Amino acid sequence: MGKRNIVVIGGSMGSLEAFKTIIGGLPADLEASVFVVWHMSPDSGGILAQVLDRTGPLHASEPYDGEQIKPGRIYVARPDHHLLVENSHVRVTRGPKENRFRPAVDPLFRSAAYAHGRHVIGVVTSGALDDGTSGLWAIKERGGITVVQDPNDAQMRSMPESAIRNVRVDHILPVSEIANVIVRRVREVVETTEPTMDKNGSEQIKKEIRVAAEDDALKTAVFDLGDLTPYTCPECSGVLARLYDGDRVRFRCHTGHAFSPDSLLAALTESIEDSLWSAIRGIDESILLLNHLGDHFAEVDQRKLAARFFQKASEAKERKDRVRAVVLDHESLTTEGVQQEAEIFVDTPAVTSQDASAGRSE
pLDDT digits (tens, 9 = 90+) for 41-74: 888 777 999 999 999 999 999 999 999 999 999 9
Q: What domain range is 64 assigned to?
A: 2-190
CA–CA distance, 291 with 297 (Å, rounded to integer)? 10
Residue 8 falls within a domain, yes or no? Answer: yes
CA–CA distance, 149 with 182 (Å, rounded to integer)? 13
Percent of the chain with pLDDT over 70: 91
Please name which of 94, 101, 107 lies closest in space to residue 35, comparing C-alpha atoms. 107
Same domain, yes or no, for 297 and 167?
Answer: no
- State yes or no: is 131 an active-site residue: yes
Residue 71 falls within a domain, yes or no? Answer: yes
Residue 25 falls within a domain, yes or no? Answer: yes
* CATH number assigned to the domain comprising residue 95: 3.40.50.180
Alpha helices, DSSP H only, in the chain?
16-24, 47-55, 105-116, 133-141, 158-166, 175-186, 199-212, 217-220, 261-299, 303-329, 335-344, 353-358
Same domain, yes or no, for 182 and 304?
Answer: no
Residue 163 falls within a domain, yes or no? Answer: yes
Question: Which one of 15, 33, 39, 158 is the catalytic residue?
Answer: 39
Residue 185 falls within a domain, yes or no? Answer: yes
Same domain, yes or no, for 148 and 44?
Answer: yes
- State yes or no: is 82 an active-site residue: no
Q: What is the pTM of this model?
A: 0.85
pLDDT bin (cut points 50, 70, 90) of residue 116 is very high
- State yes or no: is 263 an active-site residue: no
pLDDT bin (cut points 50, 70, 90) of residue 179 is very high
Contact predicate 110/245, CB 8 Å: no
| Each residue's pLDDT tens digit, 270-282 | 888 889 999 999 9
**What is the reported pLDDT for 108?**
98
Same domain, yes or no, for 273 and 167?
Answer: no
Considering its fold, how many domains does the chain have in total? 2
Question: Which one of 130, 131, 153, 262 is the catalytic residue?
Answer: 131
Residue 255 falls within a domain, yes or no? Answer: no
Residue 323 falls within a domain, yes or no? Answer: yes
Residue 228 falls within a domain, yes or no? Answer: no
